[in-house]
Structure 1
Amino acid sequence: MPYNDLLTSISERYPCRDSQLSQLSALIGDETSPSPSSFVLYGLEATGKTLILRALLQESEVSFSWLPCDECITARHLTERIAATVEAALDLGEDLGLPRSQEVGALAVFLQAALARVREVKHFLVLDRIDQQRDPTPTLVPALRRMGEMIPNLTVIFVVSAPHSRFFSSAEIPHIHFPPYSREESIEILSTNPLPIKKTGEEQDPDDDETSDDEATKEELAKEELYVWQKFCATVWDSLAKGAARDIVRFRNAVEKNWSTFVQPIARGEYGTRNYSSLYLYHKDMFRQETSVLDTVIPPAVNERSTMVVKSHDLPYYSKFLLCAAYLASYNPPRSDALLFTKAGEGKKRKRGGGLNKQAGTRKIQRRLLGPQSFPIERLSAIFPTLTSHTVPPSVDVQAQIATLTSLRLLVKATSLDPLDGSAKWKVNVGWEYIRSIARSVKFDIEDYMIE
């Protein structure tokens, strides 16, 4: 196959890497053109480094040996594996009479003797994931880089995730960067192999000539499936994968995990392929749940039952108000207490939004997402009586209620001091959904007392 056709074929199978493929082809070349003594491929995981390099080396039919360095522990283990891999790739057929290399110097002698048998052929030694080698010595990688300079027909290729500036003890070695795939590139790559809408078990009747023999109908169906697939990939990227999937492998896993559930209404004939907006609204909860991207061994039904058990804590009446006060003390700044919890008429009128809405425009993250902050017990005792619509009777033992919440791990100590010490600090240990259900059970609108 001509070299240009070879590059075109690889580019069609692995899109969005034309620039890197062109640079690689220039460095590898053919049997007559020279190659550098060493060069580096670097980029984050799942960016196509190994895939593109292996495809080009195999289809160019050049002599190469491939070693995954993350499987090697010590430097001696690595050098011995390199010697064995090169000898197997060259297929010399007889022992060279040299001892197995125990250090880089002995390895260079071994490789020079081995490659002298095939003087006319260039050989590429690929050290994949060399930066993940378990126990390297400080001079191991620079010494491996120099071997290509000492052996004329040897080129050492390093494949790393993030090379250090002094990792190779030289700034002259050529580098090829594989950047992470963008949103458009990720969707394009996934669109080369879309999943069908119909379930795997659904097969068409072989006697149905109207559908099996109509190629135009098949092409139209494939086009419609590709349309839904691309729209769904874009939705998953914008709602889930952009923050939860750090590479294209996890992105595809998230798409494939939710695809069959998403297209079930289309397979049943309830929605058309062009009614994507309606289908998205039908499945909008799918793009809000963490289970859409996280795998779990617990069935969904068990998750729902366990959630109901947690939300059915039968706390005493005033303990619920005390827990709400602890939540407000953990998530509201202390400077807002005078405005929120003053029982004067002016304070009541300005409770919604806390009168501090001018900060909401500049705050980028909600307080509920920043985690609970610690507070002294005196602040909790001051907030608690202002939440009830009546006066708390003297018979209510606040300290006993705090002890009950602490034993249930709903309220935890934030310092190592004695709980009876006045300077000890606490923080709430429940989430927003839980505290909102607790507040509703006593008809308390906790939303009006939250500073957004």
Structure 2
Amino acid sequence: MPKKTKRKPVQAMEVTDGVDVSLLHRMIPCREKQIQDIYALMGEPWQHTVPSIYIYGHSSCGKSLVLENLMTCLEYPYVNVNCVESYLVTIIFQEILRGILDSCSKSSHVEFNLPKKCDNMNDFVRHLKEMMDVLCVEETVYIILSKADRLREKDPCLLAGLLNLQEQTSQNICVILEAQVTWDKFYGSVSGKAPCVVHFPSYTKDELKTILCFLRPSDASNDFYEQYIGILLSVFFIACRDLRELQHLARLNFPIYYAPVKNGIALESNHHKLWKNIEPHLRDALRTVHLGEVSSDEWTQLHYKHCDVDEETGVIAPFVGKERRSALGNVELPLYSKFLLIAAYLASYNPVKTDLRFFVKSAGKHKKTLKSLKKNERLSAHLKGPKAFPLDRLMAIFYSIVDDRVPPSVSLFSQISTLVSLQLLARVGHEDQIDCPKYKCTASLDFIQSISRTVEFEVMRYLFDFI
């Protein structure tokens, strides 16, 4: 076994074996406290650290970035397992064993044959202890389980066994769980010692501005780009606080904001003209935030190919032509998903009593009278917003508007879950209500009209408010 050299104890801002921990503070801004807390819990490589750490926070708040950079810069042996990709317990066990073997066998130069099967927690603990004894691992080994929310769906004994892995194996192992929910969500299924909890709060407006300023192009000044980011956040901060989405929007819209200055038509200090130039484009992007209807290259090509630039004012006219409308309509959705979305919109905005009139062919003609509806149904449904509807009503409307005969199948119902994940449908009620779930449509009328044109369905003829 090669001789290991002990590292000297360090403070948070000192150099450790040529690695400056403070470098992470400059690489990952606005996360200095979280880096300091996690590094303090880890300790030195030869020391026994805490058995488990629970890190939680909303998506795109720097959890994975901080963990990966800490492990890489400090050169700690670790394995990172995604609980979404490793959807079976046996796959989780095999990925952990394979990752630890790859991380620790380089320094020990000892061969170890991985077991062919590892089906339960007892076998996993036995194989892990045997492997670490053969490899003579003395440093702390970190097991990172990203997307740990999925572990709540597994056997409760799995999570309890992983949290107590250090005690069961008598090895220097630390399990780090990375999730988006608070630790309270695991209380019902986990017994034993609770892990050390580290919270990653959402970025504030000032922190987002600091991070987004790192995207500044080389030909733009600091003050000018900070001014642009301030305008961008003033428009999108209320509707979107996802860092990835804001980075995407900042990268797409800056060429439009910078075009008058680049062409010599406006100065960087001419805030009014620059705002007049970018405001229609930001408003247009605000309608489709999170949808991702087109890629960055397609968005840029559509805007610059069809936009007109006024030479006197330097204002770029927003693109609202036929190609833009067709781009909105040609969302990459399957055919039946489009009909499901149309059916959901009709169920959200039509009163229940009108289903017989619109979707039953032998119902005959009925006049639209206010006496036939209740008092709370006489107002326009589009003014009050979408209403919840049960799943059976959605499927009944779907089968009535689809020309083909569509047999019920798992793939058809899975498309409803896809629409929920795309935030075009919203689940109403408790998640454990599986007998008759309720939904409501969150898409706008313009979006539904563009979807209807692609499938040649006249949706306006089936809306009670417009007949």
Q: TM-score range by the shorter chain?
A: 0.5 to 0.7
1-structure distance, mates of 2:173, 2:386 = 59
Change (3 A) 1:304 1:174: closer
TM-score normalised by the chain length of structure 2 = 0.59
Structure 1 residue 334 displacement after superposition: 7.0
Match of 1:4 in 2: 13
Change (3 A) 1:279 1:109: same
2-structure distance, mates of 1:106, 1:190 = 47
Matched, 1:228 2:228: no
Matched, 1:186 2:205: no
Matched, 1:156 2:206: no
2:128 to 104, 107, 111: 111
Structure 1 residue 9 displacement after superposition: 0.5
1:13 to 9, 21, 27: 27
Aligned ranges 1:76-91 → 2 under 5 Å: 76-91=90-105
Match of 1:428 in 2: 466
Note the residue ranges of structure 2 that are not aligned, 5 or more in a row.
Answer: 1-6, 15-19, 303-318, 328-366, 388-456
Structure 1 residue 33 displacement after superposition: 3.4
Name the amino acid aligned to 2:181. A
Change (3 A) 1:44 1:169: farther
Note the residue ranges of structure 1 that are not aligned, 5 or more in a row.
Answer: 198-221, 308-325, 338-365, 374-406, 414-425, 430-452
Change (3 A) 1:238 1:96: same
Match of 2:412 in 1: none
Name the amino acid aligned to 2:210. E
Structure 1 residue 136 displacement after superposition: 2.5
Change (3 A) 1:14 1:114: same
Contact conserved, 1:47 with 1:178, CA < 8 A, in 2?
yes
Partner of 1:229: helix, strand, or coil?
helix
Match of 1:263 in 2: 258
Contact conserved, 1:101 with 1:107, CA < 8 A, in 2?
yes
1:72-105: CA deviation from partner (whole Å, max 9, x where unpaired): 1211121122111111211154225855422111
Aligned ranges 1:369-448 → 2 under 5 Å: 370-371=384-385, 409-412=459-462, 426-428=464-466
Match of 1:250 in 2: 245
Matched, 1:144 2:162: yes
Partner of 1:10: helix, strand, or coil?
helix
Contact conserved, 2:47 with 2:140, CA < 8 A, in 1?
no
Contact conserved, 2:151 with 2:159, CA < 8 A, in 1?
no
2-structure distance, mates of 1:302, 1:296 = 16
Matched, 1:238 2:234: yes
2:272 to 273, 277, 294: 277
Change (3 A) 1:234 1:102: same
2-structure distance, mates of 1:144, 1:372 = 44
Structure 1 residue 256 displacement after superposition: 0.9
Contact conserved, 1:372 with 1:428, CA < 8 A, in 2?
no
Change (3 A) 1:408 1:428: same
2-structure distance, mates of 1:170, 1:303 = 60
2-structure distance, mates of 1:305, 1:155 = 53
Contact conserved, 1:128 with 1:158, CA < 8 A, in 2?
yes
Match of 2:444 in 1: none
Partner of 1:70: helix, strand, or coil?
coil
Partner of 2:175: helix, strand, or coil?
strand
1:130 to 132, 148, 164: 148
Match of 1:102 in 2: 119
Structure 1 residue 412 displacement after superposition: 2.9
Name the amino acid aligned to 2:118. S
Structure 1 residue 263 displacement after superposition: 0.7
Contact conserved, 1:241 with 1:254, CA < 8 A, in 2?
no
Partner of 1:270: helix, strand, or coil?
coil
Name the amino acid aligned to 1:239. V
1:41-78: CA deviation from partner (whole Å, max 9, x where unpaired): 11111111111111111111222222222211211121
Match of 2:433 in 1: none
Contact conserved, 1:412 with 1:427, CA < 8 A, in 2?
no
1:302 to 322, 342, 346: 322
Match of 1:288 in 2: 283
1-structure distance, mates of 2:150, 2:207 = 27
1-structure distance, mates of 2:280, 2:131 = 62
TM-score normalised by the chain length of structure 1 = 0.60
Match of 1:387 in 2: none
1-structure distance, mates of 2:65, 2:71 = 10
Contact conserved, 1:14 with 1:52, CA < 8 A, in 2?
yes
1:114-141: CA deviation from partner (whole Å, max 9, x where unpaired): 2223242221111122223696223211
2-structure distance, mates of 1:369, 1:287 = 25
Name the amino acid aligned to 2:167. E
Match of 1:195 in 2: 217
Residue correspondences, number: 310
Change (3 A) 1:303 1:170: farther
Match of 1:39 in 2: 53
Partner of 1:192: helix, strand, or coil?
helix
Partner of 1:237: helix, strand, or coil?
helix
Partner of 1:156: helix, strand, or coil?
strand
1-structure distance, mates of 2:114, 2:284 = 63
CA-atom RMSD in angstroms: 3.6
Contact conserved, 2:152 with 2:186, CA < 8 A, in 1?
no
Change (3 A) 1:126 1:305: closer
Contact conserved, 1:31 with 1:62, CA < 8 A, in 2?
yes
Contact conserved, 2:208 with 2:243, CA < 8 A, in 1?
yes
Contact conserved, 2:141 with 2:173, CA < 8 A, in 1?
yes
2-structure distance, mates of 1:295, 1:62 = 37
Contact conserved, 1:73 with 1:134, CA < 8 A, in 2?
no
